[in-house]
Amino acid sequence: MLIMPGGGAGEIKKWGIENFVSASKSIAQSVNKSCHINVLLGPDEKDEIVFVEKLIRSDNRFSLYINIPIKDIAKLVDECDLTIANDCGPSHIAQCMQKPYIGLFREPNTEWFLYHPKSIKILPQEGQGIKTIQPQAVIDHAVTLLKS
């Protein structure tokens, strides 16, 4: 699994690293198989980097990639069974490759989302921020995609 908890536009487009990590662990447990969780972050996401670096020291299921080239992002997306991401530049690689993808968006942005049978867009309730998206919604969609 690949998670992209960053967002170049700042906090307004971020679901939160804690949500990503918690949901990822629950997804791995729900599909009842060994699951490695790759975390992709940009160089400006310093708080998230520190969080994941601490996590890696106690949980070897996680790997961290920081500011890697597009060709390496594409390879990582291709190797993973699922990508879960905020609306960010690298997330569009997973969509365009038509790999299993869950996108967390703060607003509909239909022009920024590629609909295909393996893609799901999750939005907060109208007037709410992205951090109000319930982890269980992400978990349920992820398990469905992984089992199909």
CATH number assigned to the domain comprising residue 48: 3.40.50.2000
Q: What is the pLDDT of residues 49-96, one digit of tens each?
A: 999 999 999 999 999 999 999 999 999 999 999 999 998 888 899 999
pLDDT over threshold 90, residue 10: no
pLDDT over threshold 80, residue 9: no
Residue 92 carries which side chain, given as an amino acid letter? H
Q: What is the pLDDT of residue 114?
A: 85
Q: What is the pLDDT of residue 32?
A: 80
Q: How confident is the model at residue 34 (pLDDT cuts 50, 70, 90)?
A: confident
pLDDT over threshold 80, residue 8: no
Per DSSP, which regions of the chain are E strands? 2-4, 37-41, 62-66, 83-86, 101-104, 119-122
Average pLDDT, the chain: 93
Q: What is the pLDDT of residues 108-121, one digit of tens each?
A: 877 778 889 999 99
- Domain count across the chain: 1
What pTM was estimated for this model as a whole?
Answer: 0.95
C-beta separation of 48 from 6 below 8 A: yes
Burial track 60-90 (b if 16+ CB lie within 10 A, e otherwise): eebebbeeeeeeebbebbeebebbbbbbbeb
Parent domain of 64:
2-147
Q: How confident is the model at residue 11 (pLDDT cuts 50, 70, 90)?
A: confident
